[in-house]
Amino acid sequence: MSDGLTALPMRDRFGRRIDYLRISVTDKCNLRCVYCMPVEGLPWIPREELLTDDEIVRVVREFAALGTRRLRITGGEPTVRPGLAELVRRLAAVPGIEDIALSTNGVLLPKMAAELRAAGVRRVNISLDTLREDRFERIARRPARVYREIREGIEAAEAAGFDPVKINVVVLRGWNDDEIEDFAALTRERPWHVRFIELMPTGANLEIVDAFISADEILARVRALGTLEPVPGPLGNGPARYYAFPGAPGTVGVITPLSHTYCMRCNRVRLLADGQLRTCLFGTHQVDLRTPLRAGRPLGPVILDALAEKPERHYLQLGSDVGSGGLLALSQTGG
Ligand code: SAM
Ligand code: SF4
């Protein structure tokens, strides 16, 4: 390990090793995906409550000293935060940080992919819910030209050398589920890791909860195309389960927050854009890091106390936001 750091990864009271921090760098977004953010947007975090670059770097230093090795930069849409590449460059220089990944909708990647790669982002997850330009407007509530930018963004990510490139597809019955086979077939041609995500109910998407389609059904449709073998999956393997067609350069993954719980393998906590530390994506438990940070107090004890309260599992339920911990949208936590 670099710089002689010896901190062991933190463990929570269930023995889970927590070495992964997801950082939401903004709650804003340049898309309005129908399953995520309402067209009119959400009540945005006031500017003075957002963590500055200096503050995010300080939080990450404290986490790294406690054994955190991997970061994911997310949002809202992280690329709309001014100066993101410079922030990444600073985070990559924090002793102990070994891996930085990015979750993005890809819109700004044609302009930013190369500088983000050079700044230290190694891996990228890009959301792409349709392969059909004419559908994009209905799903993302933005014009078709934005779709073309995303497709260019995926090319730019490949050209910039991100490895792996993962494509996240939220599957919605009646919206894009007839494209499951097309997405899966792409993994036979391209080194894409296509991950189908089950729709998670939150306060802002209850009108479409009927569009839920389970990973079992998704996989059954993919299997109709040919033999699928379970595979270990690409680097950064988190909650997804991966499969591949024999000889295919890419993989097919499923993320199953509702139909199968993966909480026993949870290795992460989330820093929100306003400095709240959320110990479970769908838990009500969160701890304010901004106040001690701005008061100049050490964060280590606060982080360890928060971890001691990390819930054993989430209680998300099909068709209801009761178990979503008061979340309006995943854009508030970074997913
Ligand atoms: N804006 C970036 C993006 O779209 O990739 C990062 C933030 S977004 C909240 C992270 C991931 O959560 C995306 O893959 C998105 O498709 C997914 N997501 C958002 N809302 C969701 C929901 N209600 N159910 C399932 N996945 C969701
Ligand atoms: Fe924006 Fe990502 Fe939410 Fe879509 S899923 S509205 S791109 S934050």
pTM of the model: 0.94
List the chain pLDDT tens, one digit each, 335 residues.
444 455 666 888 888 888 899 999 999 999 999 999 999 999 999 999 999 999 999 999 999 999 999 999 999 999 999 999 999 999 999 999 999 999 999 999 999 999 999 999 999 999 999 999 999 999 999 999 999 999 999 999 999 999 899 999 999 999 999 999 999 999 999 999 999 999 998 888 989 999 999 999 999 999 999 999 999 877 665 778 999 999 999 999 999 877 666 788 888 899 999 999 998 887 778 899 999 999 999 999 999 999 888 888 777 777 777 666 678 889 988 88
Question: pLDDT of 2-58, one tens digit each?
Answer: 444 556 668 888 888 888 999 999 999 999 999 999 999 999 999 999 999 999 999
| Cα gap 198→257, rounded to integer Å | 7
Nearest ligand 1 atom to alpha carbon 331: 9
The bridge status of strand 268-271 relative to strand 251-255 is: unpaired
Three-state SS at 74? strand
Ligand 2 binding pocket includes 110 (Cβ within 6 Å): no
* CB 156 within 8 Å of CB 114: yes
Rounded (to 5) percent helix, strand, coil in the chain: 35, 20, 50
77 close to ligand 2 (CB < 6 Angstrom): yes
Nearest bound ligand to the CA of residue 125? 1
Q: What is the pLDDT of residue 245?
A: 97
Residue indicated by tokens 């992919």: 113
DSSP state of 48: G
From CA 60, how far away is CA 209, in angstroms rounded? Answer: 36
How high is the pLDDT of residue 319? 72
Cβ pair 102, 116 in contact under 8 A: yes
**From residue 296, how far is each of 104, 287, 290 by CA, in Å?**
32, 16, 10
Q: Which helix (H) or strand (E) holds 84?
A: helix 84-92
* Of 20, 59, 7, residue with least CA distance to 266: 20
Take atom 5 of ligand 1 and give the residue whose Cα is closest: 104
Of 267, 204, 279, 292, the closest CA to residue 27 belongs to 204
- Rounded to whole angstroms, the Cα distance separating 88 from 122 reads 11
Give residues (CB < 6 A) around ligand 1.
29, 35-36, 74-75, 77, 103-105, 127, 168, 170, 197, 199-200, 202, 205, 330-331, 334-335
- Please give the number of the atom of ligand 2 that sits closest to the Cα of 170: 5
What is the per-residue DSSP string for 171-201?
--TTTTGGGHHHHHHHTTTS--EEEEEPPPP
For 248-282, letters b (16+ CB in 10 Å) and e give bebbbbbbbbbeeeebeebebbbbbbbbbbbbbbb
Print the SS3 string covering 250-304.
Answer: CEEEEECCCCCCCHHHCCEEEECCCCEEECCCCCCCEEECHHHHHCCCCCHHHHH
| Residues in Cβ contact with 40 at an 8 Å cutoff, skipping those fewer than 6 apart | none
Q: What is the Å distance from ligand 1's center to 330 Cα?
A: 6
Rounded Cα gap, residues 236 and 123, in angstroms: 8
Q: How far is the CA of 296 from the centre of ligand 1 (A)?
A: 33
Ligand 2 lined by 24 (C-beta under 6 Å): no
Q: Which of 330, 331, 332 to mutate to test the pocket of ligand 1 (most atoms within 8 A of CB)?
A: 330
**Residue 195 amino acid letter:** R
